[in-house]
Amino acid sequence: MSAYEEEMDTAGHLGRRLGLNRRRFLAATTGMAAVAAVAAAGPLKSAAQAATAGKGPNGILVPPPRRGIILYTVRDAISRDPLSSNLPSGFRAVLEELGRIGYAQVEFAGYSQHGNAEGGANLETVEGARLLRRWLDDNGLVAQGNHGFIPGSWPLSQADLDRFKLHLEIADILGMSHVGTGSDPTGSAYKADWDVAADKWNALGEIATAAGLKLYTHNHDVAYSFLLDSGPLDAQGRPTRSSGIRRLEYFLQKTDPKHVWLEMDIFWAHVAQYKYKTFTASDGSTQTQVFNPLGVVQAQTMRFPLFHAKDGKINTGTSNGYDMVPFGTGDIDYAAFFRGTGAKGYHNPMYEQDNAPGDASHQGQSLQYADLSYRNMSALRG
């Protein structure tokens, strides 16, 4: 049993002996929990430890109300059978644990959990949303967004439109300000396909705006590769070379800033910086253009209400150039990034780590990393 698992088990037993429920007991022992979580991290260095030696002059970079997490990071805990584990399992217990850690915001990644958890397996309903909202409120959490359903059809089918509107209704019940997806607008390299994607997103964005929500898309690294929009055509009549415009930057140009927003995944943007440095111009020459993730945000910072704060340790032995690690333990300079975005207090960073779930011997790992990452985010100073 890991240190984190022992802590959870101890909390349950001692809480019952003292006549307290688990949440009240843990709230009274937050300091003990913090020490246990950081100690369990082993060789991982906490930025919080370094911050105690001397804080920067510009104060806290991510204020407490803006500290968030996407629930994809702890998907193993949400999908865990509560009847077979003493660890937090299912939405209710996981939200309780994230609130105890200190998170103020969450981003959903769908509404499914283990069937034995309270509420059942599927909470993608109006009734399920009301249940989730109660648990959010109980734990002082605000839902900021969701990686949910975006219609694939265009023009929209009635079935897709109805399902999209259901997701808007669920978002409204949950109190969200944003609704979106974890996928790129299109996986195509061709300008014509990005034009179609922009038309669809503009239409969906108008519907979301009318419902009082901001519609956003999320990037992976390939969305910041170069658009094929010039040069000789291939056998299918498609361009084979580039004018040096990156796909998602073109999407920003083509979509209405009143209706379409972006969530930059800062890790994947740095992977794009590593991978996509050159393009073949229309004359066949190789051109170099180094991507600047922060520069993209600075150019129109208000279009990026959400970030995925995913950290990476440099590893040039991999195709991506980085390995995902808990927030504050990698090489991405988040202090410089958040200091430079502008619009202080506007952005909502959501900690994410795709590989946070552990194996059978480390079943509490994702929540342990969530604890460590929260403290490192809290320690960021200008």
Instruction: Tell me, yes or no, whether 310 lies in a domain.
Output: yes
pLDDT at 1: 52
Question: Which stretches of the chain score pLDDT less than 70?
Answer: 1-58
Mean model confidence pLDDT for the chain: 88
CATH of the domain at 259: 3.20.20.150
Number of compact structural domains in the chain: 1
Instruction: Tell me, yes or no, whether 38 lies in a domain.
Output: no
Instruction: For residue 170, give its domain range.
Output: 47-379
pLDDT at 246: 98
Residues of the chain by 3-state class (helix, strand, coil), percent to 5: 45, 15, 40
CA separation (Å) from 129 to 111, 115, 117, 135, 174?
9, 16, 15, 10, 6
Question: Cβ contacts of residue 236 below 8 Å, gap of 6+?
Answer: none
What is the Cα–Cα distance from 380 to 257, expressed in whole angstroms?
30
Instruction: Tell me, yes or no, whether 9 lies in a domain.
Output: no
pTM of the predicted model as reported, rounded to 2 decimal places = 0.86
Instruction: Tell me, yes or no, whether 36 lies in a domain.
Output: no
pLDDT at 261: 98
Instruction: Tell me, yes or no, whether 18 lies in a domain.
Output: no
Question: Cβ contacts of residue 106 below 8 Å, gap of 6+?
Answer: 68, 69, 70, 71, 95, 98, 136, 141, 142, 143, 144, 350
pLDDT at 232: 97
pLDDT at 4: 52
Instruction: Tell me, yes or no, whether 7 lies in a domain.
Output: no
Instruction: Tell me, yes or no, whether 27 lies in a domain.
Output: no
Instruction: Tell me, yes or no, whether 4 lies in a domain.
Output: no
pLDDT at 8: 52
